[in-house]
Amino acid sequence: MLYIIICVTFHDMDNPRAWITDAEAPRERSWRIAELVAQAADGERFRRVCGSTDALRTAVLRLPAGDEVVQHRHERSDEVFVIVSGTATFHVDGRSFDVVPGDVIFAKGGERHGIQVGPTDPLDMLLVVAPNLDDAEPH
């Protein structure tokens, strides 16, 4: 079982860009990824930001079977993807990696990267972005 344990400022689940004040922040500081992705509607993308500071952002994502994240880059933010379930092909800086649960992919700031989810199962992953900049640039 994979857990996330983080002590940071939290975002609103329905609006990941809306800040929650300390008084409103959830009391829990750990989650079971399987319980988070169970909230996803069948065939739809799901993202739950679990923690965010200026230094990093972490989220749990579910991408439906056959989905694609088009290649893009983050000028100054590094990204780490931890594959929890499902399969996919990651494209990072001109190289392709077939991933399975337990694999970790690293995309350095400035490197183009994208994801092609396998055809049969959704892809569940933990994403860590550092520093937490809104610097995604489309292909």
Q: Domains in the chain and their CATH numbers?
A: 3-138 (2.60.120.10)
Q: Is a pLDDT exceeding 80 seen at residue 87?
A: yes
| Helices marked H in the chain | 33-37
pLDDT at position 139, please?
63
| Proportion of the chain above pLDDT 70, given as a percent | 78
**What is the pTM for the complete model shown?**
0.77
In sequence order, the β-bridge partners of residue 113 are: 72, 92
Q: How far apart are the first and last CA of the chain?
A: 35
Extended strands (E) in 30-103: 30-32, 46-52, 57-63, 68-74, 78-85, 88-92, 95-99
Q: How confident is the model at residue 22 (pLDDT cuts 50, 70, 90)?
A: very low
